[in-house]
Chains A and B, each alone.
Chain A
Amino acid sequence: MCLSVPARIISIDGDMADVSAGGAIFRAGLQMIDNPREGDYVLLHAGFAIMKISEKEALETLRLLQEMRDSLE
């Protein structure tokens, strides 16, 4: 339920995909993803992509934290 790892979609065939986590290729079911595309990052859990990772939100989180760091110095 918890162990999910960000993985990049390498290739799609039908409702399955090859995804790469750190260079190891896993098979993942895409049934739960809207409009999956090659190059998208998804959370891989128990052989399924359970969510797309939002690059925008990821960068925003890091930006906020960096701001926090800058304000402390």
Chain B
Amino acid sequence: MNGVFMKYIDEYRDSKLIETLARSIKSAAEGLYTFMEVCGGHTAAIHRFGIRDILPQNIRLISGPGCPVCVTGKDFIDRAIAMSGIDNCIMATYGDLMRVPGSLFSLEKANASGADIRVVFSALEALDLAERFPERKIIFLGIGFETTAPGTAVALCKAEEKNIRNFFVLSAHKLMPPAMEAIIKDGTGINGFICPGHVATITGSSAFEFISGRYGTACVVTGFEPVDILQSVLMLVNQVNAGMPAVEIQYTRAVTIHGNLRARKYLGQVFEPGDAIWRGLGIVPESGLVLRDRYGRFDASSVFPLSVVTKDDDGKCICGDILRGLRTPSDCTLFGKVCIPSDPVGACMVSDEGACNIFYRYGKHE
């Protein structure tokens, strides 16, 4: 868009630098390459800027899990909707979750039917609701990866400090590296990962070292502007050409080897790893964040135990395979006919970042 210059964004959208990188990639890319981006933000940026048009045909970019909405199980939505019906409850959620379909409806539809569900931008906003409405129960839906979970942790620490009694968190926070391992340990022919740049600001690039070390897959920790993504693709091509997989940082202005220790301290104080269900991947051990016993009184899942019956997928929805990069949206029998953005079946269609949603909106005409 034409507007005043935004620092640390517009420099990385410079058309001359983009052109330079496109040319360098073309000359360096001699074989066939398959790279996976695991972060919904990268999927979105690649489509927003039309990156695939700029890359040569012998480089294939595929989308993995990494949109926290896409990988959130139906059971979580069902549980959230059931909780929103609790007496005096105000449910607070990030906007991303509002349209994700559960077994019967979405949070948005539940809100239209009378539940009090409000979109917040921050965990602190949710905590603020608890302070403003002491007679209500505020249940905050904690989704997101290592980038977002520390914010929930900060809010819980403050809740404990201020002795707030009406703030609860239903956690579906997940960790990225275990999911990346789950994808490649069964072998998928991925030459390299475009590693999630904002997750890495928290974890540090060292969190991805096992991927190149144990599995020989190239890794580049990447920013979100077109120059960042293209520079990373070039770095990945070079790693693959040299046969020397490693973890490199492209996004050096925000990512270090060791990451954000303060943020991880908050994480460690409030959460501990637990097994988690990832839509499409099934149970991934130690990949979810669960509230520690010390914070048990804030844990919505134990304070409000509910039994929830989740409708099984007919098996026609192949979101799982799409998230693993095994199949594409056009392989799905529901895609574009039964499952469309305004009436989605699986989460890959619901989220703006979901592979199916993007393919429907941007890819079907190409």
Contacts and interface: CB of A to CB of B under 8 A. Distances in A.
A69 B224 CA distance: 21
Interface in A11-38: 21-23, 27, 29, 31-34
Given A1-B144, A1-B198, A65-B21, A46 B260 contact: no
Contacts of B52: none
Contact of B198 (A21, A45, A61, A65): A45
Contacts, number: 130
A32 B24 CA distance: 38
Interface stretch (B34-42, B238-246, B305-313, B322-330): B34-42
Interface string B29-49: 000000000011110100000
Given A6-B6, A32-B154, A65-B21, A50 B122 contact: no
Contacts of B227: 65
Q: Chain A's interface: helix, strand, loop or mixed, by majority?
A: mixed
A3 B262 CA distance: 20
Contacts of A3: 41
Contacts of B197: 2
Interface string B225-243: 0010001000000000000
A6 B17 CA distance: 20
Q: How big is the B interface, by class? A: 35 or more
B215 interface: no
B228 to A, nearest CB: 8
Residue with the greatest number of chain B CB neighbours at <10 A, chosen from A4, A21, A50, A60: A50
Given A2-B40, A31-B154, A46 B148 contact: yes
Contacts of B272: none
Max chain A Cβ within 10 angstroms of own Cβ: one of B7, B16, B68, B144: B7
Interface of A: 1-6, 8, 21-23, 27, 29, 31-34, 41, 43, 45-48, 50-51, 53-55, 57-58, 60-62, 65-66, 68-69, 72
